[in-house]
Each structure stands twice: as structure tokens, then as C-alpha cells.
Amino acid sequence: MMWLAALCVFLAAACRYDYGERRIPNNLIIWTAAAGAVWRLWNERAPGLLWYLGQAVLVMAILYPLFKIGGLGAGDVKLLGVTAGYLPAEKILVFLFCSLLVAAMISVVKMWKRGAGGAQGGICLSGPVLVSVLLLLGGVY
């Protein structure tokens, strides 16, 4: 679980940028990806590295259409993909579901507080991603 703790540090940094500047720097995504790839390579050798890359690219490819229609930002898609690479394959769909569910709940609260047009400008997805990883660490899924 040490690797998930390291992931939480990267996700906390992503939250700082996402909530402060409304963007996630590419160099933070690259460092997060490099740490995950090295961790998988160290523990599982070449197959682990290939699984990491495959999971990350697959999640990004699946979420790319949401970026194209404006539902997600590019940094959000990259962050979700890089984070998915850290997780066991059987946890990825639950991770995506939890992340997007938390984001949807935040969006509903924003709309409720400000009226129907209150969620304009979107929400920062790095927070829900961090919450989802913390739920995994806490044994919720």
C-alpha cells in the first residue's frame, strides 16, 4: 500500500494546482506516471510495466471522447489514466465509477446552491480522484 500513499501525495499536488490554477501541469502528470511505471517495473518486472502502460492508455482512450465533447478537461483525462495504472486491473472500473460519482455529487450540490446554471465552468476532478483512491485505501472497494 506504500505505492498508494505515494500516489496520494501526487494527487494532493494535482489538487493544489487544479483548484488553484484550474489546470494540472503536464510535468506533474509525467512525474506521477514515471513513479507508477517504476514501481510496477520494480515489483512485477517488464510485464508490470506493460500492464501499467496498457491500463493508463486504455483509460485515457476510453475517456478521450468525453474530453472531445467538453465533459472532461485534458488534465483530468490524463490524471485518471495515470492513476488507473497504479491500481489492480479489477479495481479500475470501480475507481472510475467512484471518481465520477463524487464529481457528480459535487456538481449537483453546486447546481443546487447556485440554481440550474450554477455548475458552469465545471468542477475540478482531481479532488474526486483523490477521494476515490482514499476510499480504496480505506477498504471501501
Q: What is the pLDDT of residues 1-48, one digit of tens each?
A: 688 889 999 999 999 999 999 999 999 999 999 999 999 999 999 999
Mean pLDDT of 83-112: 93
Whether the predicted pLDDT of 81 surpasses 60: yes
CA angle 56, 57, 61 (to 5 degrees): 120
Long-range contacts: 28-34, Cβ < 8 Å, 24+?
A: 29/75, 29/78, 29/79, 29/82, 32/7, 32/79, 32/82, 32/83, 33/82, 33/85
Where does the pLDDT of residue 127 fall: very low under 50, low under 70, confident under 90, or very high at 90 and above? very high
Per-domain residue ranges of the chain: 2-137
In this model, does residue 119 exceed pLDDT 60? Answer: no
Q: Residue 62 in contact with residue 72, Cβ under 8 Å? A: no
The string of pLDDT tens digits covering residues 35-51 is: 999 999 999 999 999 99
CA gap 18, 138 in Å, rounded: 24
Looking at residue 131, its pLDDT comes to 96
Averaged pLDDT of the chain: 92
Least confident of 65-79, 84-98, 105-119: 105-119
| pLDDT at residue number 116 | 60
Rounded average pLDDT over 131-139: 93
